Chains A and B, each alone.
Chain A
Amino acid sequence: MSAAAESARTVLEPSPRTKWLSGAFVILYALVASIPLVWIFMTGFKTPQDAIHYPPKVFFDPSLEGYVNLFTTRTRQTPEYMASLPPAETWYDALVRTRNMVIAGPSPFGGRYVNSLIVGFGSTFLAVFLGTLAAYGFSRFKVPIKDDLLFFILSTRMMPPIAVAIPIYLMYRALGLSDTHLGLIILYTAVNISLAVWLLKGFIDEIPPEYEEAAMIDGYTRFQAFRMAVLPQAVTGIAATAIFCLIFSWNEYAFALLLTSGTAQTAPPFIPTIIGEGGLDWPAVGAGTTLFLLPIVVFTILLRKHLLRGITFGAVRK
Chain B
Amino acid sequence: MTDATNIAPSGGVAQTERPQRSRTSPIIGAKLKGLSDRSIAWLFISPTILLLLAINIFPLIWAIYLSFTNYRANKPGVPVKWIGLRNYEQILSSEDIWGYLQVTAHFVVFSIALQVILGFGLALLINKRFKGHATWTTVILLPMMLSPAVVGYFWTYLFQPQAGIFNYIVGFFAGIAPDSFTMIGDVNLSPWAIVLVDTWMWTPYVMLICLAGLRSIPDYIYEAAEIDRASQWRQFWHITVPMVLPFLMLAVLFRAIENFKMFDMVVDLTSGGPGSATELASINLKREAFENWRTGYSSAFAIILFVTVFGAANIYVKFLNKVKQR
**Chain A residues engaging chain B, CB cutoff 8 angstroms:** 8-9, 11-12, 14, 18-20, 22-23, 25-27, 29-30, 33-37, 39-40, 43, 51-56, 130-131, 133-134, 136-138, 140-143, 149, 152-153, 156, 158-171, 186-187, 189-190, 193-194, 197, 213, 216-224, 247, 250-254, 258, 268-269, 271-272, 280, 282, 285-286, 289, 292-293, 296-297, 299-301, 304, 307-308, 311-312, 315-316, 318
Q: How far is the CA of A163 from the CA of B313 in the complex (A)?
A: 16
- How far apart are the CA atoms of A55 and B167 in the complex, in Å? 10
Given A160-B261, A221-B10, A311-B208: 20 more A-B contacts, CB < 8 Å: A8-B219, A23-B132, A29-B118, A36-B155, A37-B142, A138-B45, A149-B45, A160-B309, A163-B302, A163-B306, A165-B289, A167-B60, A171-B62, A213-B26, A271-B153, A289-B154, A296-B146, A300-B141, A316-B250, A318-B216
Within 8 Å CB of B302, what residues of A?
A: 160, 162-166
Binds A, one of B50-58, B91-99, B108-116, B180-188: B50-58
Give CA–CA (A8, B260) in the complex, Å: 46
Contact residues of B between 31 and 80, Cβ < 8 Å to A? 33, 35, 37-38, 40-45, 47-49, 51-52, 54-60, 62-63, 66, 73
Number of chain B residues close to chain A: CB under 8 A:
116
Q: A221–B33 contact, CB under 8 A?
A: yes
Alpha-carbon separation in the docked complex, A171 to B286 (Å): 17
B190 within 8 A of A: no
Interface of A is mostly: helix
Q: For residue A286, which residues in chain B have a CB less than 8 angstroms away from its CB?
A: 154
Q: Which residue of A lies closest to B37 (CB)?
A: A141
Annotate B240-269 by CB proximity to A: 1 below 8 A, 0 otherwise: 000000010010001001001101100010
Q: Which residues of A contact B237 (CB under 8 A)?
A: none
Kindly identify, within residues 120 to 162 of chain B, every residue whose CB is under 8 Å from any CB belonging to chain A.
122, 125-126, 128-134, 136-143, 145-150, 153-155, 157-158, 160, 162
State whether A143 and B41 are in contact (beta carbons under 8 Å apart), knowing that A162-B261, A292-B147, A315-B250 are contacts in the complex.
yes
Taking CB atoms, residues of chain A closer than 8 Å to B37 are 141-142, 222
Check B62–A11 contact: CB distance below 8 A. no
Shortest Cβ gap from B308 to chain A (Å): 10
Q: Which residues of B contact A52 (CB under 8 A)?
A: 160, 162-163
Q: How far is the CA of A158 from the CA of B313 in the complex (A)?
A: 9
A141 to B47, CA, bound (A): 16
- Chain B residues with Cβ below 8 Å from A296 are 145-147
Q: How far is the CA of A115 from the CA of B142 in the complex (A)?
A: 24
* CB of B278 closer than 8 Å to a CB of A: no
Dominant secondary structure of chain B at its interface with chain A: helix
- Please tell me if the beta carbons of B126 and A197 are within 8 angstroms of each other in the complex: no
B205 sits at the interface (CB 8 A): yes
CA distance A222 to B14 in the complex (A): 10
* Cβ of B277 under 8 Å from chain A: no
What chain B residues lie within 8 Å of A34 (beta carbons)?
139, 142
Top 7 nearest A-B pairs (CB, nearest first) are A137-B44, A23-B130, A141-B41, A251-B147, A167-B59, A190-B55, A253-B149
Asked if B100 is an interface residue, CB under 8 A from chain A, the answer is no
Check B11–A224 contact: CB distance below 8 A: yes
Interface string of B281-323 (1 = CB under 8 A from A): 0100110011000010011001101100110010000000000
List of B residues within 8 angstroms of A51 by Cβ:
163
Chain B residue contacts of A218, Cβ below 8 A: 22
| Interface pair A19/B129, CB less than 8 Å apart | yes
**Are B52 and A152 in touch, CB under 8 angstroms?**
yes
Query: In the assembled complex, how far is the CB of residue B67 from the closest CB belonging to chain A, in whole angstroms?
Result: 10
Residues of the A chain whose Cβ atoms lie less than 8 Å from the Cβ of B165? 35-36, 39, 56
What's the least CB distance linking A186 to chain B, in Å?
Answer: 7
* Contact across chains for A160 and B247 when beta carbons are under 8 A apart: no
CA–CA, A133 and B126, complex, Å: 38
Q: Which residues of B contact A189 (CB under 8 A)?
A: 51
User: 19 A-B Cβ contacts within 8 A?
Assistant: A22-B130, A33-B200, A34-B139, A34-B142, A40-B157, A56-B168, A133-B45, A149-B45, A159-B60, A160-B309, A162-B302, A194-B52, A219-B22, A222-B30, A222-B40, A251-B149, A269-B149, A272-B153, A304-B138
**Which residues of B are found within 8 Å of A40, using beta-carbon distances?**
154, 157-158
Q: Determine the chain B residues whose CB is within 8 A of the CB of A167 once the complex forms.
A: 58-60, 62-63, 66, 299
Q: Are A30 and B45 in contact (CB under 8 A)?
A: no
Q: CB-nearest residue of chain B relative to A224? A: B11
In angstroms, Cα B79 to Cα A230, docked, is 54
Complex: A260 Cα to B158 Cα, angstroms: 29
Whole-angstrom CA separation of A268 from B40 in the bound complex? 40
- Min CB–CB distance A8 → chain B (angstroms): 4
A19 in complex: contacting residue of B130, B154, B164, CB < 8 Å: B130
Interface centre among A55, A140, A161 (most CB of B within 10 A): A55
Judge whether A162 and B209 touch: CB under 8 Å: no
Nearest CB to that of B283 among chain A residues? Answer: A162
Are A158 and B142 in touch, CB under 8 angstroms? no
Across the interface, do A162 and B285 meet the contact criterion of CB distance under 8 Å?
Answer: yes
A25 touches B125 (CB 8 A): yes
Q: How distant is the Cα of A8 from the Cα of B40 in the complex, in angstroms? A: 53
Determine whether B212 belongs to the interface, using a CB cutoff of 8 Å to chain A.
yes
Judging by beta carbons under 8 Å apart, are A304 and B134 in contact? Answer: yes
Q: Is the CB of A141 within 8 A of B38?
A: yes
* Inter-chain contacts of B191 with A (CB < 8 A): none
Assembled-state Cα–Cα distance A36/B48 (Å):
39
